Amino acid sequence: MSGTSRRRRATAPESLPAQQAWLADVATAAAADAGGVPVRLLGDYLPMLADAAVSGRRPKRAELDAVARLGRQAAEQGISAGRVVQLYLSSARRLWQDLPTVARSRDSEVVRAAAAAVLHVIDDAVATLAEGYAVARRDLVRREEALRRELIDDLLRGDSDLGSLVERAEPFGLDLARVHQVALAAPSRRLPDTDTAISALEAVIFDRLGDRDVLVATKEGLLVVLAPAEAAAAGRTAPAGQDNDLGRLMHGELNRLRHGRPWRVAVGRPHPGLYGIARSYEEAREALTMAGRLHTDKMIITAHDLLVYRVLLRDQPAIVDLVSGVLTPLTHARGGAKPLLDTLDAYFTTGGVATESAKRLHVSVRTVTYRLARIKTLTGYDATDPAHRFTLQAAVLGAKVLNWPAEPLPSTA
């Protein structure tokens, strides 16, 4: 008698109802092993295994395509890949342990042939299952990323329908009635891998704040973080410590990345409700822009740090008049206005200490005192006189905001 005939006779299945009941028991036990994964995700996998043990038949393409569809269904249902694979492996292990006749056969050729056939099916099925799962996950990620971008755009714009936004925000765990703040991170150059940066930020922020009411995305070349804030912080004038906490958290994590350093992070103030998100975003964006104009060396900026500049900009014609009336005479100095403006800025920053100003400017103390005297001669304002200091300092701040004299003053017409 041939080996094939002997194997078929030795492994002939029992009656169809009995086999179906046995496979159902195997599937139920395997589903329990995998933590309650739905049995229907096995499809016809167990009959394929049993058939392979009996006849040595390899699965057909259509059968493997069905397994791939089951992998996609598992991904769409949010079941982890590990649990789905565990379901398939546990099913195979239990089926082999309980396989009628084969397990009791004393013919080593029968056992080896059946085991090889079953392993082939397991290999093909699990690989196809994983491939289907991965394809579905990529599609889900792409869809989620598109939805995330649309949501973040509408939230930051602040003019979308509230009811629609609440419904769209729910899958992302956002409660728009809470107090939120927005932080922006700008790389020093174009970031080649935004996914890596987003993943890094999500990991550290989710660990610190939880995965609800947090959204990380990209917008116009910037990384955007929408995070919850303490309700008591909304509307307060100086909760800068809280803002700095988020800023330091982001800056520390982003600087671990290979690309994008040095990062600059700007954090808006916390505000309640949907329109508070848009307001916090505008503050953070304005802080980034202002930090660039002021050429500050601070890498973590908060909206609180720049309140005085926002006040100045609210009445631009007035600040233009102030800069024009007080500082334009400095353009007549040899070397132009910039060295004298830098001297005033350093002098006010150091609290009116000439020696510290000289260190900051890398010049001699005599140069500083000479420049202050020259400023007094040209403008009529004495930086050492408390009565004149406020006017000069406000004008210097206004010049920095307007990027003067590098750019001409805006027209006040």
pLDDT tens digits for range 215-234? 888 888 888 999 888 643 44
* CATH class of the domain comprising 315-401: mainly alpha
Rounded Cα distance between 213 and 70, Å, is 32
Helix (H, G, I), strand (E, B) or coil at 161: coil
Angle at 153 between CA 134 and CA 161, to 5 degrees: 110
Which of 12, 66, 77, 73 has the alpha carbon at shortest distance from 44? 66
| Amino acid making up residue 38 | P
Q: With beta carbons less than 8 A apart as the criterion, state whether 175 and 226 touch.
A: no
Phi and psi, residue 78, nearest 5° = 80, 15
Burial of residue 161 (number of CB atoms within 10 Å: 0-12, 13-18, 19+): exposed
At 238, the pLDDT band (50, 70, 90 cuts) reads very low
Phi and psi, residue 362, nearest 5° = 60, 45
Helix (H, G, I), strand (E, B) or coil at 103: coil
Identify the residue whose tokens are 């936004």.
165
Q: What is the pLDDT of residue 13?
A: 47
Q: What is the dihedral of CA 46, 52, 58, 59, to 10 degrees?
A: -20
Mean pLDDT of 61-71: 93
| Amino acid making up residue 33 | D
At 380, the pLDDT band (50, 70, 90 cuts) reads very high
Q: What is the pLDDT of residue 184?
A: 94
Q: What is the pLDDT of residue 11?
A: 43
Rounded Cα distance between 203 and 219, Å, is 19
* CATH class of the domain comprising 164-303: alpha beta
pLDDT tens digits for range 384-399? 998 899 899 989 988 9
Q: Is the pLDDT of residue 413 over 80?
A: no
Name the least confident of 93-97, 124-128, 205-209: 205-209
Q: What is the pLDDT of residue 230?
A: 65
Mean pLDDT of the chain: 83
Rounded Cα distance between 385 and 240, Å, is 32
Q: What percent of the chain has pLDDT over 70?
A: 88
Q: What is the pLDDT of residue 412?
A: 64
Helix (H, G, I), strand (E, B) or coil at 181: strand
